[in-house]
């Protein structure tokens, strides 16, 4: 399916659409840019329709439990006051002309953005387009393979709600193997926004023409850092996060680092943490399938360590496990409520995280209040881009950066104008 200028078309129209796209873009760029309030108002109208239950049928059709949870978490971010806040924070006031010694400077849209989206969260492709629209760009969206159709349906709603937006986005379900069509889209772009793993990012990077800005939202790793002796409550919050996120998100805790060099102390921590994790698992695992998945992954991990002759110790619990590892490397956990514990004294933190510095995202910090400032600064120097409390590692925050960047700022271009004296 294709969405072009507000109309849903069959894939057979792809060649025609691609043929006309260049001229359409040039015509649109010649006009004054899209004002942010048009986008913000349209989102607000859609949100109130959502609140009134008018979109229930659509949600029922596409939404998985995972999507509904995400929708609950993120819907607040689409409120007008929050979108305006995001715009202000992220563009740093560049949208209106500021005076400079030579005259003035103001940001304009980058031009045309090609969004290559990944399927890690349903509806995320539509959100990426909204970010492009807020900054006045023309958006070409390639849906991920196996997309549920939710993003196209949402963007079609947006186009119907506000016809002035319709010319500013195109949605294509081109397979990644159709290199020729992808290249045709890349050739028209001023910026390529790529979401996904290393493979997707490498593939798209090779397609970006010289002079085209390449922006990547790659996969990330996150961890918890625990100094001193945390309260049970904090550990319960961390356990809840580990089980609920299942290690699958960029912000999910993969490793719990302890600020100690003593393996005995770490073992004692594991013994203390396991029953807390088990309680969280028994609450969160509502079907035998979820518990089975967690148990299988934990058992599989135990077998992997056995054949690798590792000295790591696996503490297997009900529907979860805690593995005490002898090394310090940040790595992926066995997922689904099976977490790794490692010793990492704060003096060695920067060195241990150095190999993964470009992939770090969230650190859930558990420490005495008086040390929080110092440890947060140390984690920042090591390369993390978010420091949160234990239970909020995967919570979205209003005004937060995305992997250390402000996306809207990246989708703009600053134009300096010299004053005529």
Partner 1 sequence: MLGRQRLFWSAHPYDLEGTQEKFLQAVRENCAYHIRHCPEYRAIAGALGFTPGQLRAPEDLAKIPVLPTLFYKRHALFSMPRRRMAMYVTSSGTSGKFSQIGFDWGCIFAEIPMILRLGRHHGLISPKPAHCVILGYKPHKANKTGVTRTMYGLTWFSPPISRTYALHYVDGGYVPDLDGVARALERLSSSPFPTRIVGFPSYLWFGLQRMEELGLQASLPKGSKIMLAGGWKQHYSQQVEKPVLYRLAGKVLGIPEDQIHEFFGAVEHPIFYNACKRHHFHIPIYARIIIRDVNTLEPLPMGRIGLVNLISPLMNATPTTSVMTDDLGYLTPGEECGCGITSPYLTILGRVGLSDIQTCAAGAAQLLGKGEGF
Choose which of 250, 353, 367, 378 interacts with partner 1 (CB under 8 A): 250
Q: Give Cβ neighbours of residue 17 (< 8 Å, ≥ 6 apart).
A: 2, 4, 9, 170
Binding mask 94-123 for partner 1 (x = CB under 8 A): ----------------------xxxxxxx-
For residue 66, the surrounding DSSP H or E stretch is: helix 65-74
Is residue 73 a contact residue for partner 1 (CB under 8 A)?
A: no
Strands in 359-420 per DSSP E: 360-366, 386-388, 412-418
Is residue 290 a contact residue for partner 1 (CB under 8 A)?
A: yes
Binding mask 297-326 for partner 1 (x = CB under 8 A): --xx--xx-xx-x--------xx-------
Region from 21-29, 130-138, 213-221, 347-355 binding partner 1, contact rule CB under 8 A: 213-221
Is residue 180 a contact residue for partner 1 (CB under 8 A)?
A: no
Alpha-carbon 406 to chain mean position = 12
**Do β-strands 338-343 and 112-116 pair in parallel, antiparallel, or remain unpaired?**
unpaired
Choose which of 145, 229, 233, 262 interacts with partner 1 (CB under 8 A): 145
- Greatest Cα pair distance in the chain: 77
What number of other Cβ atoms are within 10 A of residue 275's Cβ? 12
Is residue 68 a contact residue for partner 1 (CB under 8 A)?
A: no
Is residue 197 a contact residue for partner 1 (CB under 8 A)?
A: yes
CA distance 129 to 229: 44
Q: Minimum CB separation from partner 1 for residue 391, in Å? A: 18
Q: 165 near 38, Cβ under 8 Å?
A: yes
Region from 17-25, 46-54, 144-152, 410-418 binding partner 1, contact rule CB under 8 A: 144-152
Q: How far apart are the first and last CA of the chain?
A: 54
Is residue 22 a contact residue for partner 1 (CB under 8 A)?
A: no
Residue number, 85 or 299, with CB nearest to partner 1: 299
Q: Minimum CB separation from partner 1 for residue 291, in Å? A: 4
Alpha-carbon 54 to chain mean position = 28
What number of other Cβ atoms are within 10 A of residue 58's Cβ? 17
Q: Minimum CB separation from partner 1 for residue 62, in Å? A: 12
Is residue 173 a contact residue for partner 1 (CB under 8 A)?
A: no
Binding mask 341-380 for partner 1 (x = CB under 8 A): ------------------x---------------------
Is residue 31 a contact residue for partner 1 (CB under 8 A)?
A: no
Region from 205-213, 244-252, 257-265, 372-380 binding partner 1, contact rule CB under 8 A: 244-252
Rg (CA), the chain: 24
Place of tokens 């420490």: 367
Q: Minimum CB separation from partner 1 for residue 289, in Å? A: 5
For residue 9, the surrounding DSSP H or E stretch is: strand 7-9
Is residue 337 a contact residue for partner 1 (CB under 8 A)?
A: no
Residue number, 112 or 251, with CB nearest to partner 1: 251
CA distance 348 to 337: 27
Residue number, 156 or 220, with CB nearest to partner 1: 220
Contact set with partner 1 (CB under 8 A): 64, 66, 116-122, 144-146, 176, 196-200, 203, 218-222, 247-250, 252, 254, 288-293, 295-296, 299-300, 303-304, 306-307, 309, 318-319, 331-332, 335-336, 359
């Amino acid at each position: 399916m294709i969405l072009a200028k507000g109309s849903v078309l069959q894939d057979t129209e792809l060649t025609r659409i691609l043929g006309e796209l260049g001229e359409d873009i040039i015509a649109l760029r010649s006009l004054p840019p899209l004002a942010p309030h048009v986008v913000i108002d349209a989102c607000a109208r859609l949100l109130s329709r959502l609140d009134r239950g008018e979109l229930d049928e659509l949600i029922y059709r596409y939404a998985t439990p995972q999507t509904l949870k995400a929708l609950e978490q993120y819907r607040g971010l689409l409120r007008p006051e929050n979108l305006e806040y995001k715009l202000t924070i992220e563009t740093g006031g560049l949208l209106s002309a500021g005076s400079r010694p030579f005259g003035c400077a103001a940001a304009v849209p980058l031009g045309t953005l090609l969004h290559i989206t990944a399927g890690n969260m349903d509806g995320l492709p539509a959100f990426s387009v909204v970010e492009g629209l807020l900054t006045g760009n023309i958006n070409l969206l390639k849906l991920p393979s196996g997309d549920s159709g939710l993003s196209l349906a949402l963007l079609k709603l947006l186009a119907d709600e506000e016809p002035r937006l319709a010319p500013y986005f195109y949605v294509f379900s081109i397979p990644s193997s159709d290199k020729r069509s992808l290249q045709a889209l890349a050739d028209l772009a001023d910026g390529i926004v790529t979401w996904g793993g290393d493979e997707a990012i490498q593939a798209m990077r090779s397609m970006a023409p010289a002079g085209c800005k390449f922006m990547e939202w790659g996969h990330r790793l996150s961890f918890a850092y625990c100094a001193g002796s945390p309260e049970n409550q904090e550990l319960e919050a961390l356990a809840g996060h580990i089980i609920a996120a299942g290690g699958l998100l960029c912000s999910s805790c993969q490793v719990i680092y302890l600020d100690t060099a003593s393996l005995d102390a770490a073992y004692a921590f594991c013994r203390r943490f396991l029953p807390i994790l088990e309680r969280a698992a028994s609450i969160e695992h509502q079907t035998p399938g979820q518990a089975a998945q967690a148990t299988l992954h934990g058992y599989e991990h135990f077998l992997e360590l056995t054949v690798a002759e590792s000295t790591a110790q696996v503490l297997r619990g009900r529907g979860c496990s805690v593995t005490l590892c002898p090394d310090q490397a940040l790595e992926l956990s066995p997922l689904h409520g099976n977490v790794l514990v490692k010793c990492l004294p704060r003096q060695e933190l920067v060195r241990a995280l150095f190999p993964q510095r470009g992939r770090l995202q969230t650190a859930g910090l558990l420490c005495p209040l008086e040390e929080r400032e110092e440890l947060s600064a140390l984690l920042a120097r090591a390369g993390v881009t978010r420091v949160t409390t234990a239970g909020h590692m995967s919570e979205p925050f209003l005004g937060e950066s995305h992997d250390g960047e402000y996306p809207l700022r990246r989708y703009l271009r600053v134009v300096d104008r010299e004053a005529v004296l």
